[in-house]
Structure 1
Amino acid sequence: MDLNEVMARNLRRIRHGKKLTQEELAHLTGLSARHIGAIERAEMSATITVLGQISQALAVDPREFLTETNPG
């Protein structure tokens, strides 16, 4: 299990579920849209601090990003 891939899939799924663009999420977190995009493509690992910022902005428990879900 590659946690970067799991995080990327979950972040994308949760963000889409809340109908936010990468730019909107970037604004809510104080991160750049490029940074959000790189995490969603699993090109960059999110630090614990960044994970906290994203989970707070999306109002989800940080564990939801690291839990592997069935892609079906």
Structure 2
Amino acid sequence: MSKRFGRGMLVSVLSSEISLVLTPLQIYTFGIASTIGIPCIIALGILIREFGFKRAISLTGISIIYGILFAGLIWRIISIF
């Protein structure tokens, strides 16, 4: 998945009016998580070729977990204010 398609997929799943379903903070957090944590298919293919399947999958899992944790941390910090 390309990072630029994340918003388009979110719009198609929820509706054209995202603001009716998600708060601005949730939209911002989704943007952070999808930008940091979700590698595109091309990057995954390169990781598999360079490091092997098992290590590429573990690196992808770590990247997804890192993105979710970082987005959660940002959400907590922003929600305080």
TM value normalised by structure 1: 0.29
Normalized per residue, which structure has more helix? 2
